[in-house]
Amino acid sequence: MTVSGLVVTLTRDADARSALARLHADPRLTLGEPVADRLPLVAEAPDARAGEALVRELEATPGVARVDVISIDFSSEDPDGPS
C-alpha cells in the first residue's frame, strides 16, 4: 500500500464541478479542504505502479488542470530497480 499527498488544480470552467464530484466518489481518494481552485487530497494505491497510474488517471480527468505530487510514502516498497 502506498499513500501519496497530492494537490489537484481544477480548471476554471464547468468541468471543474463534475471533476470534484468524481473525485469525491472515488474510494481511493480522501479529499481535504479546497483552497480556491486547489484541492489537497490523499491517494491510496496497492503499490507504486498503481499509484503512478492513479496520478495519470487524475491528470486525464476532464476538469483537472494539473496534479502536483507533494509527498509519498514508500515504507512498504521493495525496491526492484535494475542493478
Partner 1 sequence: MDRRDFLKTTALAAASAAAYRLAQGGDSAAAPGTRVTDAPGGDVTWDKAPCRFCGTGCHVQVGVRGGKVVAIAGDDKAEVNKGLLCVKGYHVGLALYGKDRLTRPLLRKNGKLEPITWDQALDIVADRVMQNPAGFAIYGSGQWTIPEGYAANKLIKAGLANNQIDPNARLCMASAVTGFLSTYGVDEPAGCYDDLDAADVIIMWGNNPAEMHPVLFSRIVDRRSRGEDVKIIDLTTRRTRTSGFSQHTLFFKPQSDLAIANGIAHLLVERGTFDRAFVDAYCNFRQRTEPPTLDGQAMSFEQYKAALADYTPEKVEEISGVSAADIRMLADLFGNRDLKITSLWCMGMNQHTRGTAINDLVHGIHLLSGHFGRPGDAPTSLTGQPSACGTVREAGTLAHALPGGFVVAKPEHRQKAEEIWNLPAGRIKDKPGYHTVEMWRRFSKPADQGGDIDTIWVQVTNPARSLPNINELFEPSRKLPGKFLIVSDVYPTATAMAADLVLPSAMWVEKNGMFGNSERRTQQWFKMVPPPGEARDDCWQTLAVARRLYDRGLPGMKDKDGKFLFDIKDAAGKSVPFWEWPRYYDVNVDRALFEEYRKFSRFKHKDLAPYDEYVKARGLRWPVVEQPDGSWRETRFRFSKHDDPYVTKGEHQFYHSVTKDDRALIWFHPYDPPPESPDADYPLWLCTGRVIEHWHTGTMTMRIPQLQRAMPEAYVEMHRDDARALGVQDGEIVIVESRRGSLELPVWLDGRAEPARGSVFVPFFDERLAINRATLDAHDPLSKQPDYKKCAVRVRRRGKAAP
Chain positions contacting partner 1, by CB under 8 A: 1, 3-7, 9, 30, 32-42, 44, 48-49, 52, 65, 68-75, 77, 79-83
Q: State in angstroms the smallest separation of the CB of 18 from partner 1.
A: 20
CA gap 74, 20 in Å, rounded: 27
Phi then psi for residue 55, to 5 deg, are -60, -45
2 close to 48: Cβ distance less than 8 angstroms = yes
Nearer to partner 1, 22 or 28 (CB): 28
Residue closer to partner 1 by CB (options 25, 75) is 75
Shortest distance, CB of residue 63 to partner 1, whole angstroms? 15
β-pair type (38-45, 29-31):
antiparallel
